[in-house]
Amino acid sequence: MKIRNVLLVILLLASSGTLVFGQDNITVTGTVSDSMGPLPGASVVVQGTTTGTQTDFDGNFTLDNVPADATLEISYIGFAPQQIPVDGQTTLNVTLQEDAQALEEVVVIGYGEMKSKDLTSAITTVKSEELEATPTGQAMQALQGKVAGLQIVSSGGPGQSPTVRVRGIGSYDTDASGPLYVVDGMFFENIDFLNTADIASVSVLKDASAAAIYGVRAANGVVLIETKSGSYNQKPEITYSGYSGYQVPQNVLKMANSEQFSTLARESGSEPDALFIENAMQRYGRSRINPNVPAVNTDWYDEIMRNAMIQNHSLNFTGGGENANYAIGANYFEQGGLLKMKNEYERFNLRSKIDFRVNDNLTIGGNVVISNATRFDAEDSAWRRAYYAVPTMPVFDPLLGDDPQVFPVNYANAQDLGYRGGQNPFPLMDFSEFRNKIRNVLANFYAEIDIVPEVLSFKTAYNHNFETRSRREVRLPYFLGNNFQREDAELVKRNETYSNQIWDNTLTYNNDFGKHDLTVLAGASFRDESFERLSAKGLNFPLTGEEAYFLNQAQSTPEDDVGDDGRREYGLSFFGRISYNYDDRYLLYGTYRADGTNKYQEKWGYFPTVGAGWVLSGESFFPQNSFVDFLKLRASWGELGNDKVPSSEGGIVSEVITTALDDTMVSGVETSSDFTALKWEVTEEINGGITARFFDSNLSLEADYYVRTTKDAVIDVLRPLIPGATRQNVGEIRNSGLELALNWNKTVSEDFSYSVGANFASLKNEVLDLDGQPYLDAGSAEFRQRSIVGEPIFAFYGLETVGVYQNEAQIQADPVAVDNGLEPGDFIYKENGGDPNTIDGDDRVVLGSYLPSYNFGFNLGFNYKAWDFSASAIGQGGNKILNRKRGEVIFTSDTNWDRDFAVNRWHGEGTTNSYPSSKGVRKSWNQQLSDYYVEDGDFIRIQNLTLGYTINRKGEIKGLARTRIYVTAEKPLTIFDYNGFNPEVPNGVDNQTYPVPATYTFGVNIKI
């Protein structure tokens, strides 16, 4: 009986096999394209099977053994998929249409991916095409204005990273306010080594629900970066992309010229200042136009700045077969600096990324990035000297040519005119050099096994980042006069080594049960971080050139300048995530992470989150024929940690005290302690949002409102009866705001498509608790910043001006003016408290915050046949900037003034009610911190303009590579009222920031 059953089964299998193989199978070839041309890497699969392939570089595909009655499923990210019946055809050419909803179909999240329609969190993803439009060596700079709630503060210095903030500041330690960067699984605090062209996508995890999977590192937001990969069954492809161009200083601050400066000096009532003008005319001659003005008229900013070159070249090889794919690339980037000294940045990168299917259940892969960079920093003091240098002095003084004491160059010295300082910035620039060599190696290796195919998988990944930073500071001697000299040749060397290892293990379960869709992830992570630093200084080495820039060449090495430091931290974490979807209508999401660390006394932290979503458009009561195609409500709550704060503060101090007791000297030991053990700061966040699509998904909307509260913020706490303060986890800060993003994408015809987008974010920053203290001070006594409960963190704090005294009658009518000996041209301050007849510290008020209360971005683009054009703009408002360079007149008054003051100063009744006189600005009364020195930081900028033309875009010319040529203008125009180079100041205190240049480039992209 058993034998008969076995034979029956064999016969049935044989007959079924005969039926299958008896069908007519054919070979199908074709091309997949869009309105712009062929789509390489598009997926072509026989419906209901695993048989499939991907299109090659020219969009072509070939499929063998395809049943004549089969249906092909053709898909590509960002396009609506199509099902094409074969119907016995051997050639199929398919044109895919862009799908606005599908553009965000898959979103990278922590340790995985999710469909955008299933998200309950605030996540914004930016694709590589948007990033590569920006000519920059810093990947995060390319995100400026593209993500609502993400503030990018530009840095104009070559190779310098921008300041990045996600939803405000939640820590008093501003160095602890940057986001966590995760590059292919590895943690970073900055990503200045990455080439923008190597990035496939950037996902910004803004709320707690999205970021809490990273626990104690996620309080300031998380930026997930995936680098580019090859594709399976992809024909080998060679891609070159490069550009070259110039950076041009823009919005150069105008200073008073010699005529204006001479007028200011004579109006000041200062005999020495007027005498210095006479000295300049005697030394350098008189102007032929105005004999009362010195002949010299130096524009110092024009003298110290230059146009600078920028170039970038990337070469990439990608491809893949049935079981492997690869991406190999090299990149060279060079950026010159605007300052006329050794000020530049150069970086060379190599990378490789390989994935290999060992069998149907096991995939392994690796990714290696090697970065080698050299950066020469600017002498920042040169900017300040150029601001203060008087225009009546030339760069070189020919009268010093015969002075044997002056060496090595006869630069002019303002002391020779009577001024207290030398002022000339060129000695600092020419005889200083600051070199940084930065080496970075990122290695990532993984293995993933499908325990139950498409249901249960396990992945293990090892990541290692090794970085070395070697800094060399060289300061050569010079002599231009007493107190304007550098006596010693000085060499400072500092070597730093960073090592960061992470081993992640995750188990993922994913299954459908009818209308139920469940994904469960459980994981563990081990982290090992170490840091070492060694530094020393040598004096008086031979002045024979770079070959002498070694410590063993120095005559002396001061022992106090030798430093040796280091640390090592371990972390062990366990985490999990549950994502549940019922009928594509009801969404639940939750994560939990337990972080253990050896850094703090409190070893473990626990960070939960929960999110929910409701797809209203999936309900039966929702109108089916309305203009709303998709509508989802979502909400989340979660807690995050910030472990960038130190583990402890203070220490124990012992002091021997000797005193007389009963005529006998007695010694004892007095011990005091301000030691405090700290722990991570904890941030709690609530987020509510809407995701919607309208008008056939051409219009998308993302809207979020959040309240983010940092608890256990580390602050200074004054101790009763004991001098000083200790730092404790007792502060509380809140950031809240609204974020909106609207995007319209429309394909009008095969030849024309366009897009328009805008985003907006508001921010309210507020101090909630200072452990009972009324305020905390920051900044200096002259330029006070104060954190007050109910006000923004580090707000500017000073007097309010209500006008300028215009005449003597007004002076005599005001007791405050009489008591302080004021004159016309002096400020009138507002009385805000205390004695109405006295202006003092009690009259100070909050003058504003350096954090913008809103920022926005706008973009526009279109494609017409082979032409493409894009434009973007950004802006911000509501923030203030302390113009400290103008305010530092309190330290010296014999320097130049900006042209704004020179033109608008008070110089007679009715001339102005906002600016003091030249005499008044030299008085301590007018030098008090007030809203005169705290200016608006609002600005709007044309961020990028790009025009391109693609040759052979549809591959119609065989043998000719698809080539796109383009021109770009980056930051060509910025409109603002602030009296400085740049309204983007990271901490709001402008003691002279590096200018942000306008950049003009010509570029080429070639695909072979």
Concatenated DSSP letters for 315-342? EEEEEE-SSEEEEEEEEEEEEE-SBSSS
Q: Cis before residue 997, ω within 30 degrees of 0? A: no
Question: How would DSSP label each residue in 847-900?
Answer: EE-SS-SEEEEEEEEEEETTEEEEEEEEEEES-EEE-HHHHGGGT-SSS--BHH
CA angle, 144 as apex, 36 and 967 as ends, to 5°? 45
Average pLDDT over residues 163-167: 94
Q: How far apart are CA 51 and CA 30, in angstroms?
A: 16
Among residues 991, 986, 996, the alpha carbon closest in space to that of 152 is found at 986
Among residues 862, 815, 809, 813, the alpha carbon closest in space to that of 836 is found at 815
Q: Which of 108-117, 736-745, 758-767, 864-873 has the lowest mean pLDDT?
A: 108-117
Q: How far apart are CA 193 and CA 835, in angstroms?
A: 58
Residue 258 is predicted with a pLDDT of 97
Name the helix (H) or strand (E) containing 501.
strand 490-513
Q: How many CB atoms lie within 10 A of CB 318?
A: 23
Residue 600 is predicted with a pLDDT of 86
Q: What is the pLDDT of residues 179-229, one digit of tens each?
A: 999 999 889 988 999 999 999 999 999 999 999 999 888 889 999 999 999
pLDDT classification of 892: cutoffs 50, 70, 90:
confident
Q: How far apart are CA 799 and CA 839, in angstroms?
A: 9
Q: What is the pLDDT of residues 632-656, one digit of tens each?
A: 999 999 999 888 888 876 666 667 7
pLDDT classification of 631: cutoffs 50, 70, 90:
very high
Name the helix (H) or strand (E) containing 427.
helix 426-430
Residue 100 predicted with pLDDT over 60: no
pLDDT classification of 98: cutoffs 50, 70, 90:
low
Q: How many CB atoms lie within 10 A of CB 712?
A: 19
Q: What is the pTM of this model?
A: 0.88
pLDDT classification of 722: cutoffs 50, 70, 90:
low
Strands (E), 514-651: 516-539, 563-582, 586-597, 604-615, 628-642, 648-649
CA angle, 189 as apex, 134 and 153 as ends, to 5°? 45
Residue 403 is predicted with a pLDDT of 82
For the stretch 596-610, what's the b/e string if a residue is b when 16 or more beta carbons lie within 10 angstroms of its beta carbon? bbebbeeeebebebb
> Cα-flanking dihedrals φ and ψ of residue 404, to 5°?
-65, -20
Using DSSP's 3-state secondary structure scheme, residue 103 falls into helix
Name the helix (H) or strand (E) containing 495.
strand 490-513
Q: How many CB atoms lie within 10 A of CB 372?
A: 15
Q: What percentage of the chain has pLDDT greater than the value 70?
A: 95
Average pLDDT score over the chain: 90
For the stretch 414-451, what's the b/e string if a residue is b when 16 or more beta carbons lie within 10 angstroms of its beta carbon? bbbbebebbbbbbbbbbbbbbbbebbbebbbebebeee
Q: What is the pLDDT of residues 351-386, one digit of tens each?
A: 999 999 999 999 999 999 999 999 999 999 999 999
Residue 103 is predicted with a pLDDT of 40
Contacts of 374 (CB under 8 A, 6+ apart): 345, 346, 347, 435, 436, 437, 438
Q: Identify the residue with better confidence: 664 or 376.
A: 376
Q: What is the pLDDT of residues 509-545, one digit of tens each?
A: 999 999 999 999 999 999 999 999 999 999 999 999 9
Average pLDDT over residues 374-399: 95
pLDDT classification of 721: cutoffs 50, 70, 90:
low
Residue 723 is predicted with a pLDDT of 66
CB 841 within 8 A of CB 798: no
Q: How far apart are CA 163 and CA 165, in angstroms?
A: 7
Among residues 597, 556, 552, 551, the alpha carbon closest in space to that of 574 is found at 597
Residue 671 predicted with pLDDT over 70: no
Among residues 421, 450, 365, 437, the alpha carbon closest in space to that of 184 is found at 365
Residue 77 is predicted with a pLDDT of 65
- Residue whose entry in the numeric block shows the structure tokens 């599908």: 102
Average pLDDT over residues 914-936: 95
Residue 264 predicted with pLDDT over 50: yes
Question: How would DSSP label each residue in 81-93?
Answer: -EEEE-TT-SEEE
Contacts of 736 (CB under 8 A, 6+ apart): 705, 706, 707, 708, 763, 764, 766
